[in-house]
Amino acid sequence: MKTRRIGALIGATTLALALGACGSSDDGTASGGSSGSAADGDSIKIGIKFDQPGLGLFDAGKYSGFDVDVANYVAKELGKTNVTFIQSPSKQREDLIATGQVDLIFATYSITDERKQKVSFAGPYFVAGQDLLVATDSDITGPEGLDGKKLCSVTSSTSAQKVKDSYPGVQLQNFDTYSKCLDLVVNGQLDALTTDNTILAGYAAQPAYKGKLKVVGKTFSEERYGVGLKKGDVALCEKVNTALKKMVDSGEWQKAVDANFGPAGFKVDTATNPPKTDACS
């Protein structure tokens, strides 16, 4: 099986913890690996996003991003040398875990009480917050400045609707993906895009938008990214938490933060990061 090193986004230095990843099919979906559970052998199937720069990205045959780096570190600590990455869109994450198509999910997966009814979570390994992405010359400094402005809203996303509920004067413009909003914000056809600040930082750091877009830096929610796993698997949860703690204590967590978020000038909230892991249940 062909192996490759997992590179950090925007030319950042590859973390020493990177593991060999499996080859991919023509449609960008990871292939290969074992069909066994995370407890079996040296293989593990990990769900990530494939379209979030700085977090989980599959591009030109390579996987990169903060979620990828954390996933690889945890896999190594679990004794897994054969990692298969599986594309995990938000609406499919619970099903992927329940059906055994993935063993773990690292995909900007916020821990919520509703989701805990279907899956268990290790972590959190990062605390993000909802923010705004605007043009660099914009005078918008927070959601209160959006009255009468055009805000990108992605179908089935709650982020923009949360702003609309608090600031009724906002004009929501609906698209099917966040990436379709970027040029419109740069060109002034839209005033802002909203979702997690980590995701926004990744977009701002892309070469096509660097210097043209900025994250406002005024969060108005708390999103605790957890590691999704099969409900009730306390043993695996505890092993993942042990690995996450080691990553923080060793300094590798901070290296991953700097490599993936630094190019966008994104400042991590040190009041909430790195977070302490929750007890497994």
Is the CATH number of domain 9-127+225-264 2.60.40.10? no
**What's the CATH class of domain 130-215?**
alpha beta
pLDDT in tens, 64-79: 999 999 999 999 999 9
So what's the pLDDT on residue 160? 80
pLDDT in tens, 189-243: 999 999 899 989 888 888 899 889 999 988 888 889 999 999 999 999 999 999 9
The SS3 call for residue 30 is strand
- For a pLDDT cut of 90, what percent of the chain falls above it? 62
For the chain, which residues make up each domain, given as ranges?
A: 9-127+225-264, 130-215
Q: Among 105-114, 147-156, 195-204, 243-252, name the most confident range.
A: 243-252
So what's the pLDDT on residue 24? 37
Sign of CA dihedral 267, 248, 123, 80: positive
Instruction: Supply φ then ψ for residue 148, to 5 degrees.
Output: 80, 0
**pLDDT (average), residues 25-49:** 63
Cα first-last separation, the chain? 36
Q: How many CB atoms lie within 10 A of CB 197?
A: 27
CA distances to 46, 192, 203 from 27, rounded to whole Å, are 17, 31, 22
More confident residue, 14 or 144: 144
Q: pTM for the full model? A: 0.77
pLDDT in tens, 77-113: 999 999 999 999 888 999 999 999 999 999 999 898 9
The SS3 call for residue 6 is coil
So what's the pLDDT on residue 37? 60
CA distances to 68, 84, 126, 256 from 20, rounded to whole Å, are 12, 9, 24, 17
pLDDT of 38 strictly over 80: no
More confident residue, 200 or 157: 200
The answer to whether domain 9-127+225-264 and domain 130-215 are alike in fold is yes
- For a pLDDT cut of 70, what percent of the chain falls above it? 84
